[in-house]
Amino acid sequence: MGKEELLAKIEENVLQGRRDSEDEGLDEGLEGTPGVVELVQQSLEEGIEAKEILLGALSSGMDKVGEKYESGEYFLPDMLTAAEAVGAAMDILEPRLLDAGMESKGKVLLATVKGDLHDIGKNIVGLMLRGAGYEVLDLGADVDGNKILEKVRDAAPDILGLSALLTTTMLEMKEVIDALESEGLRGDVKVMVGGAPLTPQFAEKIGADAYGKDAIAAVRLADSLA
């Protein structure tokens, strides 16, 4: 297979949400054929640069997934499996991209706030941001505000992304933003918030810089904030 054909195959498999050959994908009859991971490995063996694979197949594939999600052709599970396939490919590519000195678009620190265990949405946002070329540091779920502040201080992210799924825990976001302010860190980092119970009005009221309705919006906003 030539380079263009390999990159097109990777993109096709991102759209199918096929991480590896064991996955069925959206269409029938694909099981047993190489998925994203095997194709990425093959591409590297054939001398295609990690950066080309990222930009020419993975990111472009996720862009198309995003368009299909927005047009209603794809649903959330389709986006999730595609993002997971890209995440698995990124595990292979990331060290090579760093070795090659490819600059990341920016550093994003993610956390689901204290008291909240919901992390599926945050994880999708993280995968999409990685696929779009950001360095993502993920603190996980139920993260104490002090830990977030400590990491903002140590890692100096460009963007802090906070997620909350409960009407009770979304209030914790304000605590974090206020603490950033009182610790003199607010000017150093842009804050993006997201999660099902939030509204743009709420985000504005608590002093966030941006509200991400979904993972696609989160990537677009990151591009405008970083």
Binding stretches for ligand B1M (CB under 6 A): 76, 115-122, 124-125, 161-163, 165-167, 192-197, 212, 214-215, 218
Residue 100 contacts residue 49 (beta carbons within 8 Å): yes
Q: Which is nearer to ligand B1M, 53 or 164 (CB)?
A: 164
The nearest distance, CB 213 to ligand B1M, in angstroms, is: 7
Q: Which is nearer to ligand B1M, 90 or 218 (CB)?
A: 218
At residue 88, the 3 state secondary structure works out as helix
Packed helices 76-99 and 59-70: angle between N→C axes, nearest 10 degrees: 160
Q: How far apart are CA 116 and CA 187, in angstroms?
A: 26
The closest residue (CB) to ligand B1M is 121
Q: Which is nearer to ligand B1M, 56 or 195 (CB)?
A: 195
Residue with tokens 């949400």: 17
Q: Which is nearer to ligand B1M, 165 or 189 (CB)?
A: 165
The nearest distance, CB 117 to ligand B1M, in angstroms, is: 4
The nearest distance, CB 225 to ligand B1M, in angstroms, is: 11
Q: How far apart are CA 156 and CA 146, in angstroms?
A: 15
End-to-end CA separation in angstroms for the chain: 37
What does the chain come to in residues? Answer: 226
How far, in whole angstroms, is CA 144 from its chain's centroid? 22
H or E stretch at 89: helix 76-99
The nearest distance, CB 198 to ligand B1M, in angstroms, is: 7
Q: Which is nearer to ligand B1M, 102 or 196 (CB)?
A: 196
| Token pair belonging to 12 | 């096709």
The nearest distance, CB 105 to ligand B1M, in angstroms, is: 15
Residue 64 contacts residue 8 (beta carbons within 8 Å): no
Q: Which is nearer to ligand B1M, 157 or 161 (CB)?
A: 161
Q: How far apart are CA 226 and CA 222, in angstroms?
A: 6
The nearest distance, CB 79 to ligand B1M, in angstroms, is: 7
The nearest distance, CB 56 to ligand B1M, in angstroms, is: 25
Q: Which is nearer to ligand B1M, 107 or 118 (CB)?
A: 118
Residue 81 contacts residue 38 (beta carbons within 8 Å): no
